[in-house]
């Protein structure tokens, strides 16, 4: 039984995405918190509704149908707390990613110090940096004001100056922001987050307090030149993000009131959950979570001494899709496709998907295009995130992804894939993990919701994570080696719990599988050939405990970094072969 009545409270969570709004119910089953059911509905942030609360109500109504319980009253308002007749819920939380990407201006002293901290801070929410103002900038004050009036930023993030350090330089940079805000209509003025020299708070309040839509303060992200701490500022920026959304999108204030302030940006909630998991696992390796959504692709990583979070709207699968071509080419997207698809068809798909992000692939060709785009978005996002990974992260090669255990992944492109094998191959292609990793699929997209729920009930996420609500795709072994195609690079022996054994000889360029059902484990002996490295050192053997999953133990012998053939016919045939190997 639960330790207390508070820990036995039911909790309803909603995730308001750009394409879909989901309602998820958690409750106590046999003394433990469980994911009970979910309901979904198209999001209503855009026309004709332009009110996110309608989508939330529709998703909750769907959940009512699934569970047979009542959560909304006759006026479609949330019933809370739960009533003696069984209606309502005890707690409610929400995550939000719907809405256009915020335009952000960052202000700091030094480009490689405070402005870099500001950049990392802005990347924790759904925003893009449209301008940066630094001490070494060559623009005059009137040019800065003109730029701000033209860009009309939603958010200004101010960093710079160690505590007790520079003040006059920061004040000089803030003056154009104050003047530009004064010249803007009141409803268009930006929200400002100040995360610089703490001794300047009163001056900043005096200079900007009456000229911004809202003014927020947080501890200095650079209390000293060698120290960076953006976590407190990221919490405050998450609150600022919700405040801005309240003004921009109808219905956000209603959901905020239902949740008593427990509404978070989806990306920030994911990062919060990742920080928790990195402490739970406590491994010498890192822990990685990726989520490919319509609003953005999220990459959250936890290491022994640092956590990172990157929210990349430019790599989202919704309205920002046409902008993807500012970061890649149509040819680079098509290299992931197993079908011969023309550039014109792909271009049309990008624009159609941007207009209707909630549409699902209807044909085999649409499925191939959708997964190719998802691969490229995730590949670009992980490349962008790697620059913020700590240099001390355990790795086999500094040019490759660090070692991660486990890797968690979510998003419609993965959970809606026809087979687990297609989901796994998408992740292997885009992430290109090294060494030995367990791949876990968040098929119900619960991680951000659990991150938000932790603020209301700390025991709920722990018990739900242990409840089997996530699907293990299996253990993946990815040797780091370069060799001729078809050359043997690894010998593996898997000893099962019943005493039987299975063996595999991995050749360069191929994928192999040894079956190992979910819930089971086995002793896996790995013997690299030549200088192949699976985490024990070049050419060194070792034995580990492998956990089972939908695909068992998967050996990826395609090399790191993955080098696809330049010949399109040969490349497509290989991709088809890899799909077939993994049951796709």
Integer Cα distance of 73 and 96 in angstroms? 23
> Quick one: how many helices (H) and strands (E) in the chain?
16, 22
pTM (2 decimals)? 0.93
Handedness of CA 365, 371, 375, 378 (dihedral sign): positive
The three-class DSSP label of residue 374 is helix
Domain ranges of the chain: 6-96, 102-242, 267-581
Note the Cα 20 to chain centre separation in Å: 16
Question: Which is nearest to 370 in space by CA: 351, 342, 340, 346?
Answer: 346
Count CB atoms within 10 A of the CB of residue 87.
Answer: 15
Fold (topology level) of 102-242:
Rossmann fold (3.40.50)
- Cβ-based neighbours of 242, under 8 Å, separated by 6 or more: 96, 252, 256, 263, 264, 265
Are 255 and 53 spatial neighbours (Cβ–Cβ below 8 Å)? Answer: yes
Q: What token pair was written down for 578?
A: 């890899």
Residue pLDDT tens, the chain, 584 long: 334 334 468 999 999 999 899 999 999 888 889 999 999 999 999 888 899 999 999 999 999 999 999 999 999 999 988 888 889 999 999 999 999 999 999 998 877 888 999 999 999 999 999 999 987 778 888 999 999 999 999 999 999 777 666 677 788 888 999 999 999 999 899 999 999 888 888 888 888 888 898 999 999 988 887 888 899 999 999 999 999 999 999 999 999 999 998 999 999 999 999 888 887 777 789 999 999 999 999 999 998 888 999 999 999 999 999 999 999 999 999 999 999 999 999 999 999 999 888 888 889 999 999 999 999 999 999 999 999 999 889 999 889 999 999 999 999 889 888 999 999 999 999 999 999 999 999 998 999 999 999 888 888 988 888 888 899 999 999 999 999 999 999 999 999 999 999 999 999 999 999 999 988 999 999 999 989 999 999 999 999 999 999 999 999 999 999 999 999 999 999 999 999 999 86
Architecture of domain 6-96: Roll (3.10)
């Amino acid at each position: 039984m639960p330790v207390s009545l508070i820990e036995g409270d039911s909790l309803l969570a909603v995730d308001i995405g750009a394409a879909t709004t989901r309602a998820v119910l958690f409750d106590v089953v046999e003394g433990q918190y469980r994911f009970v059911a979910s309901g979904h509905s198209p999001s209503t942030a855009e026309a004709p509704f332009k009110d996110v609360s309608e989508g939330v109500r529709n998703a909750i109504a769907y959940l009512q149908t699934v569970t047979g319980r009542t959560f909304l009253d006759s006026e479609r308002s949330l019933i809370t707390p739960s009533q003696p007749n069984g209606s309502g819920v005890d707690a409610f939380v929400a995550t939000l990613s719907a809405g256009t990407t915020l335009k952000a201006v960052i202000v700091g002293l030094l480009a490689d110090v405070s402005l870099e901290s500001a950049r990392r801070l802005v990347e924790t929410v759904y925003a893009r940096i449209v301008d940066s103002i630094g001490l070494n900038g060559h623009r005059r004050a009137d040019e800065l004001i003109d730029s701000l009036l033209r860009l009309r930023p939603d958010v200004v993030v101010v960093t710079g100056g160690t505590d007790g350090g520079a003040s006059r330089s920061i004040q000089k940079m803030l003056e154009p922001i104050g003047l530009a805000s004064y010249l803007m209509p009141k409803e268009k003025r930006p929200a400002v987050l100040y995360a610089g020299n703490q001794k300047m708070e009163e001056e900043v309040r005096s200079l900007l307090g009456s000229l911004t839509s809202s003014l927020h303060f947080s501890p200095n992200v650079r209390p000293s030149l060698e120290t960076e701490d953006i976590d407190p500022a990221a919490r405050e920026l998450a609150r600022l993000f919700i405040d801005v959304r309240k003004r921009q999108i109808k219905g956000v204030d209603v959901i905020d009131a239902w949740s008593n302030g427990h509404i978070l940006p989806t990306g920030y909630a994911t990062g919060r959950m990742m920080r928790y998991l990195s402490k739970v696992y406590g491994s010498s390796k890192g822990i990685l979570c990726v989520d490919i959504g319509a609003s953005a692709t999220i990459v959250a990583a936890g290491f022994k001494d640092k956590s990172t979070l990157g929210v990349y709207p430019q790599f989202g699968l919704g309205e920002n899709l046409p902008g993807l071509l500012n970061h890649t080419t149509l040819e680079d997207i098509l290299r992931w496709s197993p079908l011969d698809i023309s550039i014109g068809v792909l271009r049309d798909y990008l624009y159609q998907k941007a207009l209707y992000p909630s549409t699902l692939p209807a044909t085999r060709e649409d499925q191939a295009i959708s997964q190719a785009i998802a691969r490229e978005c995730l590949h670009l996002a992980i490349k962008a995130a790697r620059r913020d990974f700590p240099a001390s992260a355990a790795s086999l090669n500094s040019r490759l992804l660090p070692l991660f255990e486990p890797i968690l992944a979510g998003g419609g492109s993965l959970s809606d894939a026809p087979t687990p094998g297609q989901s796994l191959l998408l992740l292997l292609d885009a992430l290109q993990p090294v060494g030995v990793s367990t791949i876990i699929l968040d098929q119900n997209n619960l991680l951000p919701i659990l991150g938000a729920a932790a603020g209301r009930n700390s025991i709920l996420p722990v018990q739900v994570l242990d409840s089997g609500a996530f699907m293990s795709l299996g253990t993946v072994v990815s040797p780091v080696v370069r060799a001729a195609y078809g050359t043997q690079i690894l010998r593996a022996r898997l000893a099962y719990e019943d005493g039987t054994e299975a063996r595999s000889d991995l050749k360069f360029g191929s994928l192999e599988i040894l079956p190992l059902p979910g819930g089971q484990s086995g002793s896996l002996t790995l013997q690299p050939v030549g200088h192949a490295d699976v985490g024990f050192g070049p050419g060194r053997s070792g034995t580990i405990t492998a956990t089972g999953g939908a695909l068992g133990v998967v050996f990826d012998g395609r090399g790191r970094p993955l080098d696809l053939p330049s010949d399109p016919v040969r490349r497509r045939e290989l991709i088809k072969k890899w799909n077939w190997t993994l049951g796709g």
